[in-house]
Amino acid sequence: MSRYFLELCYDGATFGGFQIQNNVDTIQGAVQAAMKTLYREEIELTGASRTDAGVHALQNFFHFDTDIVITQKQVYNLNAILPNTVVIKAIYEVPETAHCRFDATTRSYIYKLHTQKDPFLEGRSWYYPFPLDLNLLNQATKTLLSFTNYESFSKKNTAVNTFECSVSKAFWQVEGTHLYFHIDSNRFLRGMIRGLVGTLLQVGRGQISLEEWMDIVASHNEQRVDFSTPAYGLYLSAIQYPNFLKKID
């Protein structure tokens, strides 16, 4: 039996999340259904990074094991079966011990905002027409690199063993009327990025001070964090692995 990584991207707007659930359309459910149609047998998928309902991905991965001969042509076949909002980008043959979740070294996200109303960005970026002090915003964001415990930014009832995250990059990028929040880490907690964005924007608007921001991060109290940031502005942009991905022929 061989193991494969499946690389995909998707528009999360019409899905109830990434991981398969009863009575809800999910990314995993759509891909497993397409694979059952093509291969005429059930193939169980393991996901690399679970995105919430409404969140998009420029890159995500599944892995699966099978005795079926997998070829590059099947990427086209799967895409012909899948809805247009989900695209298989590639299939890779990997060592049998490779794990798409546990072997990921870095996960990268982008949160997209725009400051000028644009109908073509609806559902793809958050319209945020409020004035921001970008200097304060970046000062607060830079402090994230000095923290490791992100319990404040984890939603309640999250089943994790640790709130430790190793954030290696966090910054804001401005391009005209577009504003992008970039963040890289080895792992993320449920709701973490939307909580960071919502609370950082409060700093940028002068609603909370830098000192209050630092206190919120250190407080381990999620009730002080703004999780109201909409899901549709969030994109899983990349997942990095050690050099074991080999594209199938």
Indicate which residues carry an active-site annotation: 52
Q: Measured between alpha carbons, how far is 81 from 242 in angstroms, rounded to an integer?
A: 31
Render 96-129 in DSSP notation, one character per residue.
TT--TTTT--EEEEEEEEESS--GGGTTTSEE--
Beta-bridge partner residues of 61: 7
By C-alpha distance, which of 185, 171, 182, 184 is closest to 134? 171
Q: Is 76 helix (H, G, I), strand (E, B) or coil?
A: helix
Task: Assign residue 104 a region (left: φ > 0; alpha: ψ between -120 and 50; beta: otherwise).
Answer: beta
Q: Is 19 helix (H, G, I), strand (E, B) or coil?
A: coil
Q: Measured between alpha carbons, how far is 139 from 81 in angstroms, rounded to an integer?
A: 47
